[in-house]
Amino acid sequence: MILSAHQPVYLPWLGLFHKIALADHFIVFDQVQYVPKDWISRNTIKGPNGPILLTVPVLRKDHREKRIVDIEIKNDAPWAKKHWMSIEQCYRKAPFFKDHAAFFEATYQREWTRLADLDYHMLRWLLDTLGIKTPVTKAGDYDFMGAKSDLVLDMCRKMGATTYIFGALGADYADVETFRQKGVVPYFQEYAHPSYRQGHGTFLPNMSVLDLLFNEGPASLEIIMACNASRDEVRMLK
């Protein structure tokens, strides 16, 4: 069984969806410590003058000591209205914007209390819309123990994983030898970012998946997987 996990991400980039598509099971790791100014609460879309950073404000009291699942959104400013206005202004002329606009408009009209709930709500819809069928659960549903490499290995053993997909930075902390001794093959994702039809001039990589979805619609998953490893290729690793 191929397992992967990642902390919640706001409007994720393409590489996360490739990572999820490779796995037989994906876990949203919402139990780890919150990191300010990270992709948990922000991401970029493409505007007429270049990238636009959208950031969800959070309550800052003790936020550096809290788990991601406990981080609350600061709702005393109209951040949601601004995010939706920015998305609409940037993509209203994109070929497939109208196909998906209703979901985002409705999402931004709701008042969200916890950042992890907002991220999870969007992730599930994005996976369904892209056609990625990988089962997704939350780390809070389990009792994983340890830190860094030990935490990941404990998760693999309790979930029955035989392969674990790390992000590229996982090589900085993963104890590869111990993983192999315990019967888990570590795989380090190196995502080759594809080019695709994109508005507003010169192509810019590493935008939110919204940029791809609004511009390429039903072809989005095929583009995400193009020139990158498939699940079958990962499964054959020894």
pLDDT of the residue at 148 = 87
Residue type at position 118? L
Task: Record the tokens describing residue 233, joined without a space.
Answer: 């290729």
Per residue of the chain (238 residues), give pLDDT as tens. Answer: 999 999 999 999 999 999 999 999 999 999 999 998 899 999 999 999 999 999 999 998 888 889 999 999 999 989 999 999 999 999 999 999 999 999 999 999 999 999 999 999 999 999 999 999 999 999 999 999 988 899 999 999 999 999 999 998 888 889 999 999 999 999 999 999 999 999 999 999 999 999 999 999 999 999 999 999 999 999 998 7
Beta partners for 43?
Answer: 54
- Whole-model pTM? 0.96
pLDDT score recorded for residue 113: 97
Q: How far apart are CA 71 and CA 60, in angstroms?
A: 9
Predicted local confidence at residue 65, as pLDDT: 85
Q: How confident is the model at residue 37, as a pLDDT? A: 87
CB contact at 8 A, 86 and 45 = yes
| SS3 category, 55 | strand
pLDDT of residue 206: 97
Q: d(Cα 199, Cα 62) in Å, to the nearest integer?
A: 40
The whole-angstrom distance between residue 69's C-alpha and the CA centroid of its chain comes to: 15
pLDDT value of residue 151: 93
> Would you give the distance in Å from CA 209 to the centre of its chain?
9
What is the structure's pLDDT at 118?
Answer: 98
pLDDT given at position 60: 87
pLDDT in the model for residue 172: 85
Give the list of residues 6+ apart from residue 219 with CB closer than 8 angstroms, or none. Answer: 196
- What does the DSSP assignment read for 96-150? THHHHHHHHHHHHHSPPSBHHHHHHHHHHHHHHHHT----EEEGGGS---SSHHH
